[in-house]
Amino acid sequence: MKKLYGVIGSPIQHSMSPLIHNDAFLQLGIDAHYHAFHVLPKDLEAAVVGLKALGVAGFNVTIPHKKAIIPLLDEVDNTALKIGAVNTVVNENGKWTGYNTDGPGYVAALKQITATENKHILIIGAGGAARAILYSLVKEPGAKVDIFNRTPEKAQHLIEEFSLQGTSRAVTMAEVVGNMPNYDVIVQTTSVGMHPHIEDSPVQIATLKKNAIVSDIIYNPLETDLLKQAKLKGAITQNGVQMFVYQAALAFQYWTNRVPDVHRMEKIVTERLGGTTC
Ligand code: NAP
C-alpha cells in the first residue's frame, strides 16, 4: 500500500518539501506520497492524533509547531530534546518519534564548501534555527563561536544553556564589526532580508578574512543583501537552499533508510525559486 508522508505548519502553501520528497520517491521507486497539511496551533494535538490514526508513516514539522509538538510525541531523540525543537517525526511501530535534522543538515551543507575543523564562527541570530545550528556546529573539533543577536540576552542565554562559556561568547555589534576580519565562517540565521523585505540586512559586511565563508540560511531570495555584500568583499557565499535540502535528505533517510539525490533536490528548489545551479 502507498505510504503517506507530509509536513505540518502554518502557513504551509509555499512549502517546497512536497516537490522534493515526491520527486525523490519517484526517483527511488518508493511507493509513497508527501502532502503539505495546513495545521493551526489550536489543532496541533488533534492533527498529531489524526495522522497516527490514518497510519501516516512520517512527517516534517515547521513553523510554528517545532517546539509545541515535543510533548505530543511518544519519544524524542536526545539531539532534538537539547535543541528544543523537532522538525522530523517517524512512525516507529505505531509510536511517534521526533528528531531534529536542521542542525545536522546545516553542518552537512557547510561541509560541501569547507572543512569545518578549528573554525572561528559568527552566528547572527539566536532563534530556533540558530539553536539547532549552534548545537551541531560546536560539535565540530576546535569550533569557537560568537553569537550576535538583536536581543543580546538571548545570545547569552544560548551560551549558558549549552555550557559553551569556555569557547564561545555573546558579542555586541561593535565587536562583530571589530572581529569581522577574524571570522572563518559567518552564518546568518535571522529572518532579516527575507522576501519581501529583501533590502534589509542584520549586519553590514566590513573587511573579511581571505576565503571567509558567508552563509545565509534564507533561500527566498536566493541571494540576500548580506550575501551580495559578502560577495563584493570576496567571500565564498552559500544560501539556505543547501541547508534546506540536507535537512530534507536526513528526514528522508529516517523515514525510508534510503539516500535521496541531494543535488537533484537542490536543483529543483533553486529552479523553483528562479535560479540556476551548475
Ligand atoms: P525565530 O526562532 O523566530 O528567530 C528569529 C531570529 O531573527 C531571532 O534571532 C530574532 O532576534 C531575529 N530577528 C527577527 N527580526 C529581526 C529584526 N528586524 N532585526 C534583527 N533581528 C531580527 O525564527 P527561526 O525559526 O530561527 O528562523 C529564522 C530564519 O531561518 C527564517 O528566515 C527561516 O525561514 C530560516 N530557516 C531556514 C532553514 C533552511 O533550511 N534553510 C531552516 C530553518 C529556518 P530577536 O531574538 O531579537 O527577536
Q: How many residues does the chain have?
A: 278
Residue 69 and residue 171 in one domain: no
Beta-bridge partner residues of 36: 7
Lookup: cell for 7: 509536513
pLDDT tens-digit readout, 53-70? 999 999 999 999 999 999
Residue 163 and residue 257 in one domain: no
Total count of domains within the chain: 2
C-beta of 148 in contact with ligand 1 (< 6 A): no
pLDDT at 206: 87
C-beta of 150 in contact with ligand 1 (< 6 A): yes
Query: Does residue 57 fall inside a structural domain?
Result: yes
pLDDT at 123 exceeding the cut of 80: yes
Q: Which of 60, 61, 150 to mutate to test the pocket of ligand 1 (most atoms within 8 A of CB)?
A: 150
Residue 127 and residue 232 in one domain: yes
Alpha carbon of 213 to those of 56, 63, 109, 113, 233: distances in Å? 40, 27, 12, 8, 11
Give me the active site residues, please: 66
Residue 66 and residue 122 in one domain: no
Residue 235 and residue 115 in one domain: yes
Ranges of beta strands (E only) in the chain are 3-9, 32-38, 58-61, 75-76, 88-92, 95-99, 120-124, 144-148, 169-170, 185-188, 213-216, 236-238
C-beta of 103 in contact with ligand 1 (< 6 A): no
Domain that holds residue 38: 3-100+242-272
* pLDDT interval class at 125 (50, 70, 90): very high
CA nearest neighbour of 14 among 194, 179, 220? 220
CATH code for the domain in which residue 140 is found: 3.40.50.720
pLDDT at 278 exceeding the cut of 70: no
pLDDT at 129 exceeding the cut of 80: yes
- SS3 category, 121: strand
Average pLDDT over residues 3-8: 98
CATH code for the domain in which residue 55 is found: 3.40.50.10860
Average pLDDT over residues 227-235: 96
Beta-bridge partner residues of 60: 7, 88
Query: Does residue 173 fall inside a structural domain?
Result: yes
What pTM was computed for the model?
0.96
Q: Which atom of ligand 1 lies nearest, measured to the CA of 247?
A: 40
